[in-house]
């Protein structure tokens, strides 16, 4: 029995003693704390005293503005972040709480989870440091920069999970993040904060290191787990935000901020009914003015119907729409007079937000004397006007209407723009943006402005005094019945000086642009060398938008 008892004892130790020993060893391993070491004064040495190995170890810590001339030193920005960090900490933690609250709520009741909440949430007292910043220059209305961000912080983020009668705490601490994001502020708009979106994309896989405690024990000390977690985090972050993936943060409604055309409003003035009698013979000579709110362009007019209180026009007009959510169509009916001012028969408006894209809607509107609610409206009827309205958004804006843009969006950027085949026919809007010029120099003076000549129509920018690098940033729109595949646009930079009784105008150079590429590609954005100018360039953006 002695031999049998010995064998059974060994088997029992193998089944029970060894697992229990491993478990006790694991608990002692993750909960054991190293003995405190006595503090020692750091050794400070000059660079020339270091050997090759020590210098090689220091290379990763050298700021990029020292190693790479394309990166600029931004101590001022680091000082700004340092002073703002307590407030940034509270703001970011508030965003984290509000963002994670619905995520935590989805797990309540699942897997026997009763509650999930933050026990503590702070980013610590150590802010990130920017070791250099690279700024790119593009032709677009945007600012592109790449900061080299390093953050060796002391955050304390503790999440408590209550499962039945047990409470589990997970603590994140000693976070280190080294990343090189590309940040783009675009488009630049004349409304504060002067950009519509923040677009972020990582140019390389980030380095992320942190400590993670579960029930008070450092689980990152488990052999093999640290490397697994590191690689998993890098892969997940790269899958979400590594270029060409982007994180887009909307700041402003770019359509409203830039006031660029987004579509065409087709207005068909059909008829009017029972208009007021303004002439001595009991008739009127009515016509209609059509315009959009917020525009300085002259109104479009119907023909005059002589001596008719129930005129029929059936005339169509096209108006350029910039903000369908706030703009409205203005219809004003007048009685034509050969001499003197024309009498107003009535008016009415139609908000464009009542229209569905690409759907023709008919309206029969009661004419009123004024749209001012404080104005005393007489009970005498002024008649009715009947119109058909159709709002056709441009192709690239079709999916924008009705979307909510107040949340973060992660999406894949498009490398190069893929344009659809654009038919040579069809109406559209040609948008010409004169951004600015460089190195324009006159022999007598430098007060430059740009003159745009297209289809016999002249439009010009404002005059900027005493500059060789003017920045106009002005747009001009042309409503065309067909694509301008065979047309050219001429842009000339002139300088003007006015003295008492004397005006002097001098040409600083010109350029002629074929529009066939604009029609085929939808858009061009280039700097052109000015003809008859030594070094002058002009920055022009031209778009062709169809419905």
Q: How far apart are CA 461 and CA 448, in angstroms?
A: 9
pLDDT value for 33: 54
SS3 30: helix
Query: What is the dihedral sign for C-alpha 109, 112, 113, 114?
Result: positive
> Which of 101-120 are b and which e, b meaning 16 or more Cβ less than 10 Å from the residue's Cβ?
eeebeeeeeeeeeeebebee
Q: How far apart are CA 251 and CA 185, in angstroms?
A: 10
Q: How far apart are CA 394 and CA 428, in angstroms?
A: 9
Count, residues in the chain: 547
Per DSSP bridges, beta strands 263-273 and 488-499 are unpaired
The DSSP letter of residue 47 is G
- Mean pLDDT per 10-residue run, the chain (547 residues)? 44 46 50 56 70 74 79 92 94 89 86 86 92 90 92 90 85 86 89 88 86 77 76 80 86 70 93 87 90 87 93 94 91 88 91 93 92 65 93 73 48 44 66 94 91 94 94 92 92 87 86 94 93 94 91
Q: How far apart are CA 401 and CA 429, in angstroms?
A: 19
What's the whole-model pTM score?
0.70
The number of beta carbons lying within 10 Å of the beta carbon of residue 154 is 12
Burial of 423 (0-12, 13-18, 19+ CB in 10 A): exposed
Q: How far apart are CA 131 and CA 37, in angstroms?
A: 32
Query: What is the dihedral sign for C-alpha 44, 47, 49, 53?
Result: positive
The DSSP letter of residue 297 is S
């Amino acid at each position: 029995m002695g031999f049998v008892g010995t064998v059974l004892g060994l088997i029992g130790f193998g089944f029970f003693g060894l697992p229990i020993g491993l478990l006790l060893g694991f608990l002692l391993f993750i909960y054991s704390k190293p003995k405190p070491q006595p503090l020692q004064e750091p050794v400070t040495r000059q660079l020339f005293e270091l050997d090759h190995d020590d210098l090689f170890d220091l290379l990763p810590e050298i700021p990029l503005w020292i190693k790479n001339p394309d990166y600029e030193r931004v101590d001022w920005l680091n000082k700004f972040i340092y002073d703002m960090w307590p407030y940034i900490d509270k703001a970011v933690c508030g965003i984290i709480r509000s963002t994670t609250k619905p995520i935590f709520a989805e797990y309540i009741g699942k897997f026997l989870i009763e509650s999930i909440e933050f026990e503590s949430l702070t980013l610590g007292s150590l802010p990130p440091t920017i070791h250099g910043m690279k700024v790119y220059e593009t032709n677009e209305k945007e600012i592109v920069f790449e900061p080299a961000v390093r953050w060796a912080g002391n955050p304390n983020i503790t999440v408590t999970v209550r499962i039945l009668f047990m409470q589990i705490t997970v603590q994140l601490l000693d976070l280190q993040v080294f990343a090189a994001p590309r940040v783009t502020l675009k488009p630049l708009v004349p409304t504060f904060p002067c950009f519509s979106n923040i677009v972020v994309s990582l140019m390389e896989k980030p380095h992320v290191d942190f400590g993670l405690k579960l029930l008070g024990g450092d689980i990152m000390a488990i052999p093999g787990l640290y490397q697994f977690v590191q690689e998993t985090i890098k892969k997940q972050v790269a899958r979400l935000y590594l270029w060409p993936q982007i994180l887009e943060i909307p700041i402003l409604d770019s359509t409203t901020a830039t006031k660029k055309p987004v579509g065409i409003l087709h207005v068909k003035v059909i008829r009017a009914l029972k208009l007021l009698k303004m002439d001595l013979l009991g008739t009127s000579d009515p016509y209609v003015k059509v315009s959009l709110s917020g525009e300085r362009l002259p109104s479009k007019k119907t023909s005059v119907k002589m001596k008719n209180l129930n005129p029929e026009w059936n005339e169509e007009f096209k108006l350029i729409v910039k903000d369908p959510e706030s703009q409205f169509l203005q219809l004003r009916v007048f009685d034509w007079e050969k001499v003197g001012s024309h009498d107003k028969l009535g008016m009415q408006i139609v908000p464009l937000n009542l229209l569905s894209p690409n759907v023709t809607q008919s309206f029969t509107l009661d004419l009123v004397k004024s749209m001012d609610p404080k104005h005393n409206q007489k009970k005498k009827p002024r008649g009715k006007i009947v119109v058909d309205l159709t709002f056709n958004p441009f192709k690239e804006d079709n999916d924008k209407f009705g979307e909510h843009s107040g949340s973060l969006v992660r999406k894949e950027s498009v490398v190069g723009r893929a344009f659809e085949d654009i038919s040579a026919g069809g109406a559209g809007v040609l948008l010409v943006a004169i951004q600015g010029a460089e190195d324009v120099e006159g022999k007598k003076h430098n007060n430059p402005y740009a003159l745009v000549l297209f289809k016999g129509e002249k439009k010009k920018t404002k005059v900027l005094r005493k500059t060789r690098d003017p920045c106009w940033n002005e747009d001009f729109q042309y409503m065309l019945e067909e694509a301008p595949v065979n047309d050219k646009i001429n842009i000339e930079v002139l300088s003007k000086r006015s003295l008492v009784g004397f005006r002097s105008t001098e040409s600083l150079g010109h350029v002629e642009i074929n529009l066939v590429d604009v029609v085929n590609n939808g858009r061009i954005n280039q700097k052109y060398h000015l003809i008859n100018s030594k070094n002058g360039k002009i920055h022009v953006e031209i778009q062709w938008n169809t419905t």
